[in-house]
Amino acid sequence: MERRLPRLPAQRRGRGLLATRHRLHPVAGPLPAPIRRLRRPVLRFAPSPNGRLHRGHAYSALLNAAIARRLGGRLLLRIEDIDPVRSRPALVAAITHDLAWLGLRFDGPVRRQSEHLPAYRAALADLAARGLAYPCFCSRSAIATAALAAGDPVPRDPDGTPLYPGTCRTLPAPEIAARRSAGAPHTWRLDIARALAASGSLAYGAFDCEGQEWEVPADPARWGDAVIARRDVPTSYHLAVVHDDAAQGITHVVRGQDLEAATDLHRLLQRLLGLPTPRYHHHALIRDPAGEKLAKSRGSQSLQDLRDAGVTPGAVRAGLGFA
């Protein structure tokens, strides 16, 4: 018998999910032809080893697996471990154990981002050489102070961070060279104005679990001069994820609604770097009884906690809508 996919809350054809409570409903039958017309689909589940997995991760992984099965595609595992401080080997081992406990199996070798830093460095160098990225020596406190001085309300990006005022965007080349030679810590930022001028209008394809597809206009300008490389590594989440999706041949990205706004920036980076654009599905988030999304930073109950309490993998899957 074919396993059924959960149906997510109703989606409007455009940006985002309607404001509904998270409910799961079965969807019967194969997905329609529009979603199946590409070459063999490839999906990925890409956790970060900076904490234990919780039910929200389990839902996303199980949904990726279910869609991959229905599409006749492959499901890959990627470990997004570019954070040299928070990413720990013990947490990588815990992730693989939790996923196996849930009954998930992945195709091909596991890709670890920490093993591909030279590739990200090359992508960054390409953007910098074309005048699309610049080094930023500002501290977070300096940026916050400058943003407050710009007036109220403080302009913010979709994550709520004050937009960068562009302090280092026009630094003279000799000053930049002197600071870098002296070892001054710096990030790298995308020059959003130049990037948009080089890219033109942008959009990406979205799909839902019922096989419906639509085009979503992308608005990366709302991110401002976003950080694309951290102080401690030559990349950021945004740069690494678009590079890896291309390197792994990902055709369908299934991830949480909290990353939907980031897709605008990812679409821009794809255009600038000449990378293919997957289709995207941003699923509703699993929330706690208070309505807050589950998060490692808030100490949400982990899969290990559930396992220690005697909860079975089948009970976890059933509770998330996967029989």
- Smallest CA-to-CA distance from 169 within 185, 193, 197, 196 is with 193
Lowest mean pLDDT among 14-18, 51-55, 136-140, 156-160: 14-18
65-121 per-position pLDDT tens digit:
999 999 999 999 999 999 988 999 999 999 999 999 999 999 999 999 999 999 999
Per-residue pLDDT reduced to its tens digit, 171-216: 999 999 999 999 999 999 999 999 999 999 999 999 998 889 999 9
CATH of the domain at 252: 3.40.50.620
Among 60-74, 267-281, 286-300, the least confident range: 286-300
Looking at residue 36, its pLDDT comes to: 46
Q: For all residues of the chain together, what is the average pLDDT? A: 88
- pLDDT greater than 80 at residue 24: no
In angstroms, what is the C-alpha Rg of the chain? 21
**pLDDT greater than 80 at residue 35:** no
Q: With a cut of 60, say whether residue 23 has pLDDT above it.
A: no
Quick check: 216 and 14 in contact, CB under 8 A? yes
Q: Residue 43 contacts by C-beta under 8 Å, 6 or more apart in sequence?
A: 64, 67, 68, 71, 73, 74, 75, 76, 250, 251, 252, 253, 254
Quick one: DSSP state of residue 142?
H
pTM above 0.85, yes or no: yes
The predicted structure's pLDDT at residue 75 = 98
Give residue 257's domain range.
5-319
Q: Using 50, 70 and 90 to split pLDDT, how confident is the model at 4?
A: very low
- Per-residue model confidence (pLDDT) at position 27: 35
Question: Using CB atoms within 10 A of its CB, is residue 198 exposed (0-12), middle (13-18) or buried (19+)?
Answer: middle
Residue 78 Cα distances to 108, 163, 248, angstroms: 10, 30, 9
| Confidence category of residue 146, pLDDT binned at 50, 70, 90 | confident
Ramachandran quadrant class, 56 (left: phi over 0; alpha: psi -120 to 50; beta: rest) = alpha
H helices of the chain, in order, are 33-36, 55-71, 89-101, 117-129, 140-149, 173-181, 192-199, 237-247, 262-273, 303-308, 313-319
Structure tokens at 128: 């910098």
Which pLDDT score, from 0 to 100, does residue 292 have? 86
- CB within 8 Å of 182: residues ≥ 6 apart: none
pLDDT in tens, 147-160: 777 777 888 999 99
Eight-state DSSP code of residue 116? -
DSSP class of 151: -
What's the confidence (pLDDT) of residue 169?
97
Is the pLDDT at 34 greater than 80? The verdict is no
- Assign residue 66 a region (left: φ > 0; alpha: ψ between -120 and 50; beta: otherwise): alpha
Provide the domain count of the chain.
Answer: 1
- Using DSSP, state whether 191 is helix, strand or coil: coil
- 33: pLDDT confidence band, cut at 50, 70 and 90? very low
